Structure 1
Amino acid sequence: MKNDSALSRRTFIKTAGIGAVFPTVLTPVFPQLPTALDVPDLEKIKALLATKDPNIWLFTGDSITHGAKHTHGSRSYPEIFAERLRWELKRVRDLVINTGISGNATRNILSDFDWRISQFKPAVVSLMIGTNDCARKEITTAVFEQNLTDIVLKIRALGAVPILHTPNPIILEKAPERSTLPDYVPVIRNVSNAQAVILVDNYQHWQATTDTNVNREWLNDPLHPGARGHQEIARLLFRTLSIFDAQEPTCGGPYYEGEH
């Protein structure tokens, strides 16, 4: 006669589908908790922000993420994010790394993935890309979709949370070599949907803004955001991640507090 504990163990093994041979290490089973695949990425972000352990947040992409030249010395959106995270949210031990490189496309991210992303062991990887892809004839929308999907899968393989951005709109008539950018934006949305990735839809936000002259106020040239444009990208990211607070300076609240 077999004891109850043996029967319970056998029942558990059959139910779990583990089989007769155990692997060297078994992941503990907690039926009351969802598995990692069941946790939406926004919930993972929320958990990262709640933990006391420090995390690495990595931004990569092209010149827009790089923040090259067109900010006129003001902060780029990854730098604004760092201010929100490390000062306003008091996560002072978190690290924000920016590996964006001007002129890059998806193929550059893939070929340089280990240096640009893997080595840092990030918890979160934010990617804005596409403004250069659309100017490369060899990177069709189909190739772009495959490249973007491969990047997302490689990020997930690191155990990191991916975040995708659509780029900001550009002045098409002044950048004819990038006239197909509107064809690449839906690809980013499609990959986001297919891979259940957080999407920061800058393109939609900028197009939907009617109370300001976006081209004049938010762009510094036909392609690149200026200081105000980077603020808008950062604030949309904050809203998407549910960390926007209108009273805080990075979100538009007052910076000035001195008495002279």
Structure 2
Amino acid sequence: MKYLRALILSASLLCVASCSETTDLPTLQAGAVVLAFGDSITHGTGAGSGQNYPTLLGQATGWEIINAGIPGDTAQAARERIEPLLSRHRPDLVIVELGGNDFLRRRNPAEVKVDLEAILSRVAAAGVPAVLVSVPQFSVLRATMGALNDSPIYRELADERDLLLIPDLLSDILSREEWKADPVHPNAAGYQALASGIHAALQGAGIAP
């Protein structure tokens, strides 16, 4: 079983890495400050202390990663907290993972896209590059079937703003029972897969060592 899980994880990471696009951003060396901006999935709900993806990604890269994940946060509410975080931490990179709680509240995806665009605009105005993590538009039926799909707004935003997108990873993790603590949160193994997938995508783009 462990061997099978390793094969599944390797295949998922290979897909993430192969789907990554190179960027003209320099490789961030150890000690770089990265802001992980998101909701409960960034925070690490569903796993123990130190098992969240920002901590694991920091261990893999040597970056100083600020975990700015708030359980229950929405893209709509997060618009108001991004600028103070940018001013306080002056990050070299921002990883944005938001929208899941908006979808659970049945908000119109077009409205969620507007909120995400406002966040990304404020990051860009601060002169900081951003990476966008796609989030599935939650469906009880598709979650039960193990077949969640990314909301299309993330690909639209990435194309419109010329951003590095990390697609399919979170949808894949939340479609696998062995990687979930509950229907909307990874467990410890899921967070390890999330951190490894983000790291692989950033390496493929030339951003991570």
TM-score normalized by the length of structure 2: 0.75
Number of the residue aligned with 1:242: 203
Residue 155 of structure 2 is aligned with which of 189, 196, 217?
A: 189
The size of the alignment, in residue pairs, is: 182
Partner residue of 2:93 out of 113, 124, 127: 124
Q: Which letter does structure 2 place at the counterpart of 1:231?
A: Q
Per the alignment, residue 55 of structure 1 pairs with 32
Q: Which residue of 2 aligns with 1:44?
A: 25
Unpaired segments of 5 or more residues in structure 2?
1-20
Is the 8 Å Cα contact of residues 131 and 167 (structure 1) preserved in structure 2?
Answer: yes
Partner of 1:85: 61
Match of 1:29 in 2: none
Q: Which segments of structure 1 move beyond 4 Å, counting only runs of 4 or more?
A: 168-171
Q: How much is the aligned-residue C-alpha RMSD, in angstroms?
A: 3.0
Name the SS of the counterpart of 1:44 in structure 2: coil
Matches within 5 A, 1:147-162: 147-162=115-130
Residue number among 190, 204, 208 corresponding to 1:229 in the alignment? 190
Distance change in 2, residues 1:241/1:45 (3 Å): farther
CA distance in 1, matches of 2:200, 2:76: 29
**1:60 aligns to what SS in structure 2?**
strand
1:176-201 CA-partner distances (Å, limit 9, x unpaired):
9xxxx85x711011101110111111
- The answer to whether the 8 A contact 2:38-2:96 is kept is yes
Q: One-letter code of the match for 2:200?
A: R
Distance in structure 2 (CA, Å) of the matches to 1:55 and 1:141: 33
SS class of match (2:24): helix
TM superposition shift of 1:243: 6.4
- 1:17-36 map, 5 Å: none
Query: Alpha-carbon deviations, 1:133-173, whole Å to 9, x = none?
Result: 11234x31111111111111111111111010013686724
* Amino acid corresponding to residue 56 of structure 2 in structure 1: I
- Is contact 1:168–1:206 with CA below 8 Å preserved after alignment? no
* Pairwise CA distance, 1:73: 3.8
Q: Which amino acid is the alignment partner of residue 136 of structure 1?
A: R
Q: Which residue of 2 aligns with 1:10?
A: none
Paired with 1:225 and 1:64, the residues of 2 have a C-alpha distance of 7
Q: Which has the higher contact order (CA 8 A, sep 6+)?
A: 2
Identity %: 25
Q: Deviations over 1:10-62 (max 9, x none)?
A: xxxxxxxxxxxxxxxxxxxxxxxxxxxxxx9733142x33xx8x421010111
TM-score, length of structure 1 as denominator length: 0.62
Shift of 1:67: 0.6
Q: Answer whether contact 1:78 1:96 (CA < 8 A) is retained.
A: yes
Contact 1:41–1:197, Cα closer than 8 Å, also in 2: no
Aligned-residue offset at 1:72? 3.2
Contact 2:36 2:68 in 1 (8 A): yes
Report which of the two has the higher share of strand.
2
Q: What SS does the corresponding residue of 1:42 show, helix, strand or coil?
A: coil
